[in-house]
Structure 1
Amino acid sequence: MDDQISSTTPSYGFQHDDEEEEQRADKHVNSLQDEAADFSIREAVAVPEEDEILDLAGGAKDALERHRSTLPRTEEPLLDFSEPEPEPSSISKPEPEAAKPARISAFGDATTKPTKSEEKEEKTTVTPSKSKSSCSLVDLLYWRDLQRTGVVFGASLFLLLSLSVCSIISVLSYVALALLSVTISFRIYKGILQAVQKSEDGHPFKMYLDKDIAIPTEMVHKYSDTALVHINTVIKELRRLFLVEDLVDSLKFAVLMWILTYVGALFNGLTLLILGLIGAFSWPVIYEKHQAQIDHYYGLVNKQIKDVVGK
């Protein structure tokens, strides 16, 4: 009976051994987990930061460059262990944002302010432009276009010289005959040329015949109103001078007329017009080139005249 009980019934010592083995296994697992945690912590500490990586890479690159500088020119290193410097995302410069289009309201107005170039363009469009007639007159007097100014100056001077030699009727007749001779000769030449070449070019002056040369009524009213204002001003001034409204002004006008009698004895009206035309086309250019000297001497003369008048 004792042998049967001892063989079949487990003893307390065996149970205690099993519990110890389980505890040892648990301790072993816990130790392994602790070692794994410590290893991960050491790896995390051992991993260098991005700045340290950049410093190490920069130092290695500088050392390699110094080593290359010590080598002779004919000798070059066989291998290049330098690696491109990493560009971490934290140091990289932020890309500039694309310019957003201006929001347009329902009325079509942009919310953003216009740029300087647009403001300049707006200013240029808003500023009133000078009249074409004044610009063309200034260009003629200052010889901006040599060909055009030469034609105008030459034709005007030739007309005035012709009037000084011949009567106005003879001058107008000769000018009309010269123009007709040129236009008729050109018309006959083009007709013969079209007949020989059997072409249908048409009238040589068709472009000028179809062009409208009528004077607009607005221009007539504009210049007539301006001329009427000046005429009325002159009439009122002459009435004031001749009727001696102011004695001093009337005496000054009398002295001016007395000086003009001597001028008329030396020159006639056409001579004065010729001299005025030459002066109009020559004086602006001379003054533009020698403005400083002319202003200096003009100031001296003006000062002397004022001193004499004051005395």
Structure 2
Amino acid sequence: MADSTQPEKIPSSQGSDGFADASAGHNAPSPGKDVKPTPPAASIVWELIYWRDLKTSAAVFGVTLLLLLSLAAFSVVSVLSYLLLALLTVTISFRVFKSVVQAVQKSDEGHPFRAYIEKDISLSSESFSRYVDTGLRHCNCVLKQLSRLFLVEDLVESLKLAVFMWLMTYVGAVFNGITLLIIAHILVFSIPVVYEKYKTQIDHYVGIVHNQVKSVVSKVQAKVPGLSKRKPE
């Protein structure tokens, strides 16, 4: 017969067979921690332009490039109309096809897009307010920078903007806005990958050019009165 005065076993913190770990309840991850948070829009764009997922990046690049080429050949109204008409053609054709299949097979699967129709795609007031606040903050930064440039707070920076705008007049004489968007789109999807592959060499040559430009600007500021920045008192 077992001794009735023997103390009961207390589950240790290290755990053993038949005994649960006393600290497991504190260290166990909650169900909410297993859910991966939705990545921000900036992270999604970053993964697209760096071609982390080859199929997704290729699809986005091809579709957007085709859209820009269509805008270069046709008006915006025509492109949007044809795009929405193509989308409606696909959805209506699929709906009719599924209805015929269900009638022939005498099945009751319901609406083929029921899962998407019942999905909540409404934008919450918190999300809308967050996007508005972010956009307003960026807009205020841009307006502040433009006021500094056009009101000549820094003469050198304003002259740089003037030179850039003068060069853009020649660019605008050769290319229109859609052509520039197409070129920018191709560069956005190509330059980050090339830079990531040849980062060391590119940084070396960019540093040489930056030093040369900085040296020339310093010489011009020293020779032309009024261009040198005032030293803080």
Query: Normalised by the shorter chain, which TM-score bucket?
Result: 0.7 to 0.9
Secondary structure at 1:186's aligned position in 2?
A: helix
Determine which of 102, 125, 140 is the counterpart of 2:13: 102
* 1:296 and 2:184 correspond: no
**Residue-by-residue CA offset, 1:29-56 (whole Å, 9 max, x unaligned):** xxxxxxxxxxxxxxxxxxxxxxxxxxxx
Determine which of 229, 237, 241 is the counterpart of 2:145: 237
Secondary structure at 1:219's aligned position in 2?
A: helix
Give the structure 2 partner of residue 210 of structure 1. Answer: 118
CA distance in 1 between counterparts of 2:185 and 2:68 reads: 9
Compared CA separation, residues 134 and 178, structure 1 to 2 (3 A) = same
Determine which of 138, 157, 165 is the counterpart of 2:65: 157
Compared CA separation, residues 206 and 196, structure 1 to 2 (3 A) = same
**Residue-by-residue CA offset, 1:181-237 (whole Å, 9 max, x unaligned):** 111111111111111111111111111111111112212111111111221222233
Pairs within 5 Å for 1:4-43: none
Q: CA deviation at 1:133?
A: 2.7
Structure 1 runs not aligned, ≥5 long: 1-99, 104-108, 111-117
Q: CA deviation at 1:307?
A: 3.3
* 1:305 and 2:209 correspond: no
CA distance in 2 between counterparts of 1:267 and 1:145 reads: 32
Give the structure 2 partner of residue 272 of structure 1. Answer: 180
Secondary structure at 2:109's aligned position in 1?
A: coil
Q: CA deviation at 1:130?
A: 9.0
Secondary structure at 2:190's aligned position in 1?
A: helix
Q: CA deviation at 1:305?
A: 2.4
**Residue-by-residue CA offset, 1:250-305 (whole Å, 9 max, x unaligned):** 33322222111111112222122111111111111112222222222222222332
Letter in 2 for 1:305: V
Length-normalised TM-score, structure 2: 0.73
Higher gyration radius (CA):
1
Structure 2 runs not aligned, ≥5 long: 1-10, 15-21, 220-233
**Residue-by-residue CA offset, 1:60-89 (whole Å, 9 max, x unaligned):** xxxxxxxxxxxxxxxxxxxxxxxxxxxxxx
Length-normalised TM-score, structure 1: 0.56
CA distance in 2 between counterparts of 1:195 and 1:289 reads: 56
Determine which of 243, 252, 269 is the counterpart of 2:160: 252
Give the structure 1 partner of residue 90 of structure 2. Answer: 182
CA distance in 1 between counterparts of 2:163 and 2:195 reads: 30
Letter in 1 for 2:125: T
CA distance in 2 between counterparts of 1:238 and 1:134 reads: 25
Determine which structure has greater relative contact order: mean sequence separation of CA pairs < 8 Å that are 6+ residues apart, divided by chain length: 2
CA distance in 2 between counterparts of 1:133 and 1:143 reads: 15
Determine which of 43, 47, 50 is the counterpart of 1:139: 47
Q: CA deviation at 1:153?
A: 1.1
Letter in 1 for 2:105: Q
Q: CA RMSD in A?
A: 2.6
CA distance in 1 between counterparts of 2:184 and 2:56 reads: 19
Moved over 4 A (4+): none
